[in-house]
Amino acid sequence: MKLRLLLAILLPFAVCGVQWLLWDYLDPYAWFLFFPAAYFSAWIGGLWGGLAGTTIGTLLVWYVFMPPPSSFALDAPTATFPILVFLVMGALFAFFFERLRQAQARGETRFEATFEQAAVGIALVALDGSWLRVNGKLCEIVGYGHDELLERTFQDITYRDDLEQDLEHVRRLLAGDMTTYAMEKRYLRKDGSLVWVKLTVALVRKPDGSPDYFISVIEDIQARKESEADAIASEQRYRELVESANSAILRWAPDGRIAFFNTFAQRLFGWRAEEAIGEAVSLLVPAQDSSGADLTGLVEDIANHPERYLNNINENICRDGRRVWMHWTNRALRDAHGEVAGILAVGNDITEQKQAEEALRQKNEELERFNQAAIGRELQMIALKRQVNALSRQLGREPPFDLSFAQTVEPPAGSPVP
């Protein structure tokens, strides 16, 4: 700033020397070269440089070029008018250039703050790929110091598998096929590790339209990429678990349409996944089960009231018409608003268990009938023995049968009581 102020002060003296040499041609235009001098003094030195240059220029013109020469006297009162005009114009030049300089300084300060404090990497890149300017965040992302990075090109630190795609975008940008491009790529950090970034590049052109340099914005997406990789791996493990499960696993929408149909379900029900997905889940539910129960509203009721069907047993029908009993565990999948977005159903085939239960029930009924018949016969024998004992007593003989064990047994209706 001191140098600029010194130049603003010396400029009127230089102009005075030039005008002295050209005075024979410029006379009587004493202010001819000093108006530009005041302008450039303000441009170089700002407010104080402009005021100083204007003041010095006024004194030089007054003393050297205004009559009488070599004197601060004026040969006419009207001569003060150009002096005042020059002083006012010089002051205006100084004021406006100072405002312009302050505005530029504020703009540069804001730009510097934005550039250096940005949460993303920002760089100005030459047409050959060398870094012209980089901010601290970019240095942090790639692990290089500021000066170390400026010694390299973006090609040097781009992972080789991503470089050709990046260069193709650059060629298209230079050819005018597009104005910006964005891509995800990997940089090779100083320590040899890879870091994923999202790169957005724009080309700045000169006033004549020729390419000048690139502006690159680099966002660190390594954490997002790692999360995506973990999610993919988790999804793969989940699918492997679901596909290898010995249970039928279905996911269906609230409207009843199947969205997922695992391998076990395909084997059990006989429908391929591509055939079942998109179809109504009622495809697997008969209108009535074997006992005659109505199942037509079951799917809709599960979708509307999933909490009632956390565990549910019903009969299902296979593609070949075969019927199987299934124990279903149903879980409602809800969206961000808490609305049911789908039903995840896990089912196990319990047909053999149901058949075994039915066979056991039938055997129990048979046994019950047998027991009832046997008890009836035994009661009849007791009643007959009681009659024999009664006849023996009437004949004065000792009763032949000991029925003390049966005193609490009720005889059949109509039997004589001993």
Q: Is the model's pLDDT at 112 over the cut of 50? A: yes
Q: What is residue 3's predicted lDDT score, i.e. its pLDDT?
A: 87
Closest alpha carbon to 218 in 168, 178, 173, 166: 166
Close Cβ partners of 89 (under 8 Å, ≥ 6 residues apart): 35, 38, 54
Domain spans in the chain, listed from the N-terminal domain onward: 2-106, 118-226, 246-349, 356-406
SS3 category, 107: helix
Closest alpha carbon to 154 in 130, 176, 122, 134: 130
Q: CA gyration radius for the chain?
A: 52
Q: Is the model's pLDDT at 411 over the cut of 60? A: no
SS3 category, 201: strand
DSSP letter for each residue of 135-172: -HHHHHHHT--HHHHHTSBHHHHB-HHHHHHHHHHHHH
Q: What is residue 418's predicted lDDT score, i.e. its pLDDT?
A: 42
Task: Please give the Cα distance from 5 to 392 (Å, whole number).
Answer: 155
Q: What is the pLDDT of residues 22-36, one digit of tens each?
A: 988 888 888 889 999
Q: What is residue 212's predicted lDDT score, i.e. its pLDDT?
A: 94
Closest alpha carbon to 401 in 412, 390, 385: 385
Share of the chain above pLDDT 90, in %: 47
Close Cβ partners of 208 (under 8 Å, ≥ 6 residues apart): none
Q: What is residue 80's predicted lDDT score, i.e. its pLDDT?
A: 87
Closest alpha carbon to 347 in 252, 245, 253, 249: 249
Q: Please tell me the total number of residues recorded for the chain in this structure.
A: 418
Q: What is the pLDDT of residues 378-397, one digit of tens each?
A: 778 888 878 878 888 887 77
Q: What is the pLDDT of residues 3-18, one digit of tens each?
A: 888 888 899 999 999 9
What count of Cα atoms within 13 Å lies in the side-chain half-sphere of residue 48? 7
pTM, 2 dp: 0.48
Pick one of 3.30.450.20, 1.10.150.20, 3.90.79.10, 3.30.465.10 as the CATH number of 118-226. 3.30.450.20
Neighbours of 9 (CB within 10 A): 18
- Cβ atoms 44, 60 nearer than 8 A: no
Mean pLDDT of 304-308: 90
Neighbours of 58 (CB within 10 A): 20
Q: What is residue 416's predicted lDDT score, i.e. its pLDDT?
A: 45
- Cβ atoms 134, 149 nearer than 8 A: yes
Task: Please give the Cα distance from 26 to 36 (Å, whole number).
Answer: 15
Q: State how far the alpha carbon of 268 is from the alpha carbons of 45, 264, 279, in Å.
A: 90, 6, 17
DSSP E strand stretches across 153-306: 180-188, 194-205, 211-220, 248-252, 258-261
246-349: CATH class: alpha beta
Q: What is the pLDDT of residues 202-248, one digit of tens each?
A: 999 999 999 999 999 999 999 999 988 888 888 787 777 777 778 99
Question: 156 exposed, middle or buried (CB, 10 Å; 0-12, 13-18, 19+)?
Answer: middle
Q: Do domains 118-226 and 246-349 have the same CATH topology?
A: yes
